[in-house]
């Protein structure tokens, strides 16, 4: 069991070593490169704030995904749920674009969560009642939501004073997440993520629903024998997952972005899958994992600014983390047996 939570650390260490080797081959001083990658970005307050800002949506989405993944439901479409949540939340924010009022932001956030939830219900309902594959459906719906967003920001919702550029009006200040510190971008959305962590821990470990989720994840047959209502549970985990992704989307548009346009998420919904597994689908593990993965984004930027290392190394790092995690899992949890066969034994 201890090993189970230890392997992510092994994976991270191996990733750093692997990264050092890659930097060395590319002709950079590996120690210096790694310093710019993992230390420089968070060596001041602004950097720390940016790290938390980046980790917030990753953490939120991964928390939601952990409900699905723990119960053997493969929701791959968090990116779509994020986008749809942002569309619904952004739509509400745009309704109030010229108004101020304390009630606006809660409405926007709620709308975002509901939007994500509804969008996640589509693959869930199709899975429970029509036996479709949720991986395919949720993945394909990502493109649907992105195209819908494209349509809205180019057409009906585009800023009337914006020269037809594909973006909406700026939201009013009442639809924006309050900033925690002046001149830093970290905003109140981080409390949503922390609340999600607490709540998910409570649900997963202290409630009957959590017990059902875990049992279904370990063995679907056992869950059936125990008489759990599988269909309701599937709908519930997808709804939780979608709501979290929707919140992440709303946090981005009401936080650092402040309007709807086509680039609201650099694929947070997909990166969060790595975060969820690196965090061992454990709420507190996910906090840690979201910080690590957020750092790979920031590090890639600083490494390019200071050493002109190609920015795509960030994606290489994310890939390596997942690869090393799966590899160490494989090597640690499966017994490796070296068969001492003689040549003629092989031939019979």
Partner 1 sequence: MYKNFFRYLISAIFLLGFSVNSNADFKVGFVYVGPTGDHGWTFQHHEGRNAVEAAGIKTTFVESVPEGADAERVIRQLAQSGHDLIFTTSFGYMDPTNKVAKDFPNVKFEHATGYKREHPNVSTYSARFYEGRTLLGHIAGKMTKTNTIGYIASFPIPEVIRGINAMTLAAQKVNPNIKTKIVWVFTWYDPGKEAEAAQALIDQGADVIMQHTDSTAPVQTAEKAGVWSFGQASDMQRFAPKSILTSIIDDWAPYYVERAIAARDGKWNQQDTWHGLKEGMVAMGPYNSAMGADLVKEVEQLQKDLASGKVHSFTGPIYDQKGNILVAEGKVADDGMLAGMSVYVKGVEGDIPK
Q: Tell me how far, at minimum, the Cβ of 255 lies from partner 1, in Å.
A: 8
Helix axes 104-130, 230-252, angle to 10 degrees: 140
Q: Is 37 in the site for partner 1 (CB under 8 A)?
A: no
Region near partner 1 per CB under 8 A, out of 93-101, 203-211, 220-228, 302-310? 302-310
Identify residues 199-258 at the interface with partner 1 (CB under 8 A).
252, 255-258
Do residues 279 and 287 lie in contact, with contact meaning Cβ atoms separated by under 8 Å? yes
Among 102, 130, 163, 208, binds partner 1 (CB under 8 A): 163
Q: Tell me how far, at minimum, the Cβ of 105 lies from partner 1, in Å.
A: 18
Do residues 91 and 104 lie in contact, with contact meaning Cβ atoms separated by under 8 Å? no
- How far apart are the C-alpha atoms of 105 and 128, rounded to whole Å? 34
Q: Is 39 in the site for partner 1 (CB under 8 A)?
A: no
Among 131, 164, 340, 344, binds partner 1 (CB under 8 A): 164
Among 62, 209, 264, 275, binds partner 1 (CB under 8 A): 264
Among 74, 125, 230, 301, binds partner 1 (CB under 8 A): 301
Among 98, 131, 183, 340, binds partner 1 (CB under 8 A): 183
Do residues 325 and 281 lie in contact, with contact meaning Cβ atoms separated by under 8 Å? no
Cα-Cα-Cα-Cα dihedral sign, residues 231, 232, 238, 239: positive
| Helical H segments across the chain, by residue range | 2-26, 30-38, 45-70, 78-95, 104-130, 134-154, 189-206, 208-218, 220-225, 230-252, 268-278, 283-307, 313-333, 343-347
Region near partner 1 per CB under 8 A, out of 88-96, 103-111, 148-156, 318-326? 148-156
- How far apart are the C-alpha atoms of 234 and 224, rounded to whole Å? 13
Among 9, 103, 181, 202, binds partner 1 (CB under 8 A): 181
How far lies 329's CA from each of 9, 112, 213, 277, in Å? Answer: 12, 36, 22, 11
Q: Tell me how far, at minimum, the Cβ of 195 lies from partner 1, in Å.
A: 21
Q: Is 55 in the site for partner 1 (CB under 8 A)?
A: no
Q: Is 160 in the site for partner 1 (CB under 8 A)?
A: no
Nearest to residue 81, comparing CAs of 301, 282, 247? Answer: 247
In 273-317, beta strands by DSSP E? none
Among 4, 191, 225, 312, binds partner 1 (CB under 8 A): 312
Applying CB under 8 A, the residues found at the interface with partner 1 are: 44-46, 50, 53, 150, 154-155, 163-166, 181-185, 252, 255-258, 261-266, 297-298, 301-302, 304-306, 308, 310-312
């Amino acid at each position: 069991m201890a090993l189970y939570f230890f392997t992510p650390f092994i994976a991270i260490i191996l990733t750093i070593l692997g990264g050092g080797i890659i930097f060395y081959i590319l002709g950079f001083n590996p120690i210096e490169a790694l310093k710019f990658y993992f230390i420089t970005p968070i060596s001041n307050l602004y950097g720390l704030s940016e790290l938390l800002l980046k980790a917030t949506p990753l953490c939120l989405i991964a928390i939601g995904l952990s409900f699905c993944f723990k119960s053997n439901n493969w929701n791959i479409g968090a990116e779509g749920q994020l986008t749809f949540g942002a569309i619904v939340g952004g739509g509400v924010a745009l309704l109030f674009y010229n108004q101020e009022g304390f009630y606006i932001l809660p409405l926007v956030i709620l709308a975002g969560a509901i939007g994500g939830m509804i969008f996640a219900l589509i693959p869930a309902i199709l899975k429970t009642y029509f036996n479709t594959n949720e991986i395919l459906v949720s993945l394909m719906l990502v493109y649907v939501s992105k195209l819908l967003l494209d349509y809205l920001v180019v057409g009906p919702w585009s800023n009337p004073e914006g020269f037809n550029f594909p973006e909406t009006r700026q939201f009013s200040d009442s639809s924006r997440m309050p900033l925690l510190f002046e001149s830093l971008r970290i905003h109140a959305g981080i409390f949503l993520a922390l609340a999600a962590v607490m709540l998910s821990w409570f649900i997963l470990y202290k409630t009957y629903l959590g017990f059902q989720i875990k049992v279904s994840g370990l063995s679907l047959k056992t869950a059936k024998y125990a008489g759990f209502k599988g269909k309701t549970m599937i709908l519930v985990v997808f709804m939780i997952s979608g709501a979290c992704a929707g919140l992440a989307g709303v946090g981005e548009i009401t936080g650092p972005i402040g309007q709807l346009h086509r680039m609201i998420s650099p694929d947070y919904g997909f990166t969060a899958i790595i975060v969820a597994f690196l965090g061992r689908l454990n709420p507190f593990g996910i906090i840690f994992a979201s910080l690590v993965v957020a750092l790979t984004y920031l590090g890639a930027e600083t490494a390019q600014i200071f050493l002109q290392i190609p920015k795509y190394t960030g994606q290489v790092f994310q890939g390596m983390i997942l690869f090393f995690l799966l590899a160490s899992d494989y090597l640690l949890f499966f017994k490796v047996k070296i068969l001492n066969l003689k040549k003629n034994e092989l031939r019979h």
